[in-house]
């Protein structure tokens, strides 16, 4: 890999921020993406939503969304292979389009990540309560959520090696929780036939079922992102041009397998599935476990689930801190010099503190408005999908100009077709997410996702118009075609080996 395509270099930075250390391999990178995706957390949190909304057929959202997001992961794989730069969405959009476009994409991603982290730690709170035998009050919910955020920050501040170790533990916890639990329930505790996955059991009432089915889309759409986190830490990964695309693909594939197995196991083991679909069971996951594996087995599952939630929070905060760091390294944020500084352990400490503090502030809002959590979650998902598609669109635009991805990992001639298909999927997913809620809801509640996106877009555009943060940035932009062409020429003449430390020369 040539220096011009593999590292940010001096011209990529507005400030001398130091160096990351390349200590993460494919397994650690996969673990980061997988624990961010967190099949166990997503199934535990959103399987009840899918069942009460559309019944057991809601499981089909898992393969539908996984197939679409795999297309997006393939596009991202080609981009990160040419530009393995910390920050992911932001530097990719910048090199494919330009600084203003990248700023807006990163702003949306930053807001969506903050909201995602906040939603995740709140979804973990009932598991804490179930483990210790109490029902959390609103204040206790707030304190537990903030405690989980602080715990994740402490692990993150310990350095990249600690990050890699903890996410591997979380990865194994996820595998144990979803695969072994799903297999056990499927083999030894099955009470229902596979035919239930084609039986809505009256979900949706008299409404056309396709409308009911669309309402359950969040079951899959919330699950299948997180693979982009593999690229957020690109400068901390060995041989990133090849390792990260593989990790992204494996994240989606293993996520589908593990989440699907858990989903199938829980549904087929449910002793009172019609009651769950009718909303008569407050906590379906715990109820199914109590009836199948007993109180001891339930406690073991809850410990594994909490381990997975903590690891997921750690991965999310790591992704957010690297985005803030990359943003600041180009001088695009207030306080950029401080936010773009690395410690001696190669960690963006100030960016990590911000990545914990921002969700903590949002936790105050959820404390005041506890019923807003579902709307908060839906906005986070739609925001993530929007910034994903901004990168996919930028890649398609560059391809139409003649760009052939210049990294060591490429789709070849299939790249254009995959890029178009990924964009079509992403746009379709966003249209599903912004659909208005039930007509009986208030206007703000019906259109909460679209209103949230509007607020983020308008605030980002206003800041850009007033502050013009890109004016002082010297980082390259819109140069994907030129870099790919230079890379082709260099690879044909001077083969080089990847280094263990992020290069600072371009």
Once rounded to an integer, what is the mean pLDDT over residues 68-89? 93
Give the pLDDT band (50/70/90) at residue 497.
very low
Is residue 504 a part of any domain in this protein? no
Select the more confidently predicted residue: 11 or 287.
Answer: 287
pLDDT, position 142: 94
Give the pLDDT band (50/70/90) at residue 316.
confident
Q: pLDDT (tens digit, 9 = 90+) per residue, 371-388?
A: 777 777 777 888 899 999
pLDDT, position 344: 60
- Nearest 5°: the CA angle 312, 316, 320 is 170
Which of 93-102, 161-170, 244-253, 281-290 is predicted with the least confidence, judged by mean pLDDT? 161-170
pLDDT, position 199: 93
Once rounded to an integer, what is the mean pLDDT over residues 209-222? 87
- State yes or no: pLDDT of 494 exceeds 50: no
- State yes or no: pLDDT of 7 exceeds 50: no
Q: Where are the alpha helices (DSSP H) in 270-410?
A: 273-277, 284-292, 294-329, 336-339, 349-368, 373-400
Give the pLDDT band (50/70/90) at residue 361.
very high
For residue 234, give the DSSP letter.
G
Give the pLDDT band (50/70/90) at residue 475.
confident
Is residue 403 a part of any domain in this protein? yes
Once rounded to an integer, what is the mean pLDDT over residues 232-259? 90
Is residue 83 a part of any domain in this protein? yes
pLDDT, position 138: 92
Best-predicted range by mean pLDDT (85-89, 188-192, 296-300, 340-344): 188-192
Please report the DSSP string for 272-309 in residue order.
Answer: THHHHHTT--S-HHHHHHHHHTHHHHHHHHHHHHHHHH
- State yes or no: pLDDT of 12 exceeds 80: no
pLDDT, position 490: 41
pLDDT, position 192: 93
- State yes or no: pLDDT of 208 exceeds 80: yes
- State yes or no: pLDDT of 500 exceeds 50: no
pLDDT, position 13: 44
pLDDT, position 226: 82
- State yes or no: pLDDT of 195 exceeds 90: yes
DSSP three-state, residue 457: helix
Once rounded to an integer, what is the mean pLDDT over residues 110-130? 89
Give the pLDDT band (50/70/90) at residue 397.
very high
Q: What is the mean pLDDT of the chain?
A: 83
- State yes or no: pLDDT of 503 exceeds 70: no
pLDDT, position 493: 34
pLDDT, position 2: 36
pLDDT, position 461: 86
8 A C-beta contact, residue 453 and residue 238: no
- State yes or no: pLDDT of 27 exceeds 60: yes
Is residue 499 a part of any domain in this protein? no
Is residue 505 a part of any domain in this protein? no
pLDDT, position 6: 41
- 104-140 in b/e burial notation, b at 16+ Cβ within 10 A? bbbbbbbbbbbbbbbbbbbbbbbbbbbeeeeebeeee
DSSP three-state, residue 472: helix
Is residue 254 a part of any domain in this protein? yes
Q: State the CATH number of the domain containing residue 343.
A: 1.20.1740.10
140's tokens:
């206790």
Select the more confidently predicted residue: 272 or 419.
Answer: 419
Angle at which helix 294-329 crosses helix 89-96, to 10 degrees, equals 40
pLDDT, position 437: 66
Once rounded to an integer, what is the mean pLDDT over residues 33-62? 85
pLDDT, position 492: 35
Select the more confidently predicted residue: 495 or 359.
Answer: 359
Q: Which domain holds residue 44?
A: 3-491
Once rounded to an integer, what is the mean pLDDT over residues 344-355? 82
Give the pLDDT band (50/70/90) at residue 304.
confident
Once rounded to an integer, what is the mean pLDDT over residues 340-365? 85
Q: How many domains does the chain have?
A: 1
Please report the DSSP string for 120-175 in residue order.
Answer: HHHHHHHHHHHHHT----HHHHHHHHHHHHHHHHHHHHT-HHHHHHHHHHHHHHHH
- State yes or no: pLDDT of 352 exceeds 70: yes
- State yes or no: pLDDT of 252 exceeds 90: yes
Is residue 498 a part of any domain in this protein? no
Is residue 260 a part of any domain in this protein? yes
Once rounded to an integer, what is the mean pLDDT over residues 32-46? 77
Q: Which value, in Å, is the radius of gyration of the alpha carbons in the chain?
A: 22
Distance CA 136, CA 367 (A): 12
DSSP three-state, residue 69: helix
């Amino acid at each position: 890999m040539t220096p011009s395509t593999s590292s940010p270099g001096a011209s990529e930075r507005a400030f001398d921020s130091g160096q990351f250390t390349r200590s993460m391999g494919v397994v650690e990178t996969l673990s980061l993406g997988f624990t961010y995706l967190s099949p166990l957390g997503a199934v535990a949190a959103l399987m009840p939503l899918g069942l009460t909304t559309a019944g057991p057929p809601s499981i089909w959202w898992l393969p539908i969304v996984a197939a679409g997001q795999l297309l997006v992961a393939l596009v991202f794989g080609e981009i990160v292979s040419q530009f393995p730069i910390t920050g992911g969405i932001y530097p990719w959009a910048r090199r494919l389009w330009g600084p203003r476009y990248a700023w807006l994409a990163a702003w949306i991603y930053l807001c969506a990540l903050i909201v995602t982290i906040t939603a995740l730690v709140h979804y973990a709170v009932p598991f804490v309560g179930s483990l210790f035998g109490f029902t959390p009050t609103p204040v206790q919910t707030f304190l537990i959520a903030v405690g989980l955020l602080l715990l994740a920050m402490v692990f993150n501040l310990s350095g990249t090696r600690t990050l890699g170790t903890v996410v591997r533990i979380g990865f194994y916890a996820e595998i144990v929780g979803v695969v072994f639990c799903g297999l056990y329930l499927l083999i030894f505790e099955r009470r229902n036939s596979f035919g239930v996955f084609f039986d809505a059991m009256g979900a949706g009432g008299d409404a056309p079922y396709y409308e009911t089915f669309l309402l359950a889309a969040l079951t899959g759409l919330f699950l299948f992102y997180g693979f982009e986190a593999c690229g957020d830490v690109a400068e901390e990964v060995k041989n990133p041009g090849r390792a990260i695309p593989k990790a992204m693909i494996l994240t989606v594939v293993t996520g589908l397998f593990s989440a699907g197995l858990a989903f199938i196991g829980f549904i087929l083991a449910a002793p009172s599935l019609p009651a769950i679909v009718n909303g008569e069971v407050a906590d379906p996951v715990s109820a199914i476990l109590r009836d199948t594996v007993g109180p001891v087995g339930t406690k073991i599952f809850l410990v594994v689930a909490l381990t997975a939630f903590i690891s997921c929070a750690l991965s999310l905060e790591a992704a957010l801190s690297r985005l803030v760091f990359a943003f600041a390294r180009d001088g695009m944020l207030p306080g950029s010099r401080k936010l773009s500084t690395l410690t001696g352990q190669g960690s963006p400490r100030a960016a990590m503190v911000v990545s914990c503090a921002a969700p903590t502030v949002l936790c105050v809002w959820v404390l005041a408005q506890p019923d807003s959590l579902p709307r908060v979650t839906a906005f986070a998902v739609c925001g993530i999908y929007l910034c994903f598609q901004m990168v996919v669109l930028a890649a398609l635009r560059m391809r139409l100009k003649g760009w052939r991805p210049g990294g060591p990992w490429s789709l070849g001639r299939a790249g254009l077709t995959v890029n178009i298909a990924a964009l079509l999927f992403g746009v379709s997913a966003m249209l599903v997410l912004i659909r208005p809620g039930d007509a009986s809801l208030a206007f703000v509640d019906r259109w909460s996702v679209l209103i949230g996106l509007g607020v983020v877009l308008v605030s980002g555009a206003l800041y850009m118009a007033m502050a013009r943060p890109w004016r002082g940035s010297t980082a390259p932009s819109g140069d994907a075609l030129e870099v790919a062409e230079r890379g082709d020429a260099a690879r044909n003449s001077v083969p080089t080996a990847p280094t263990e430390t992020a290069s600072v020369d371009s």
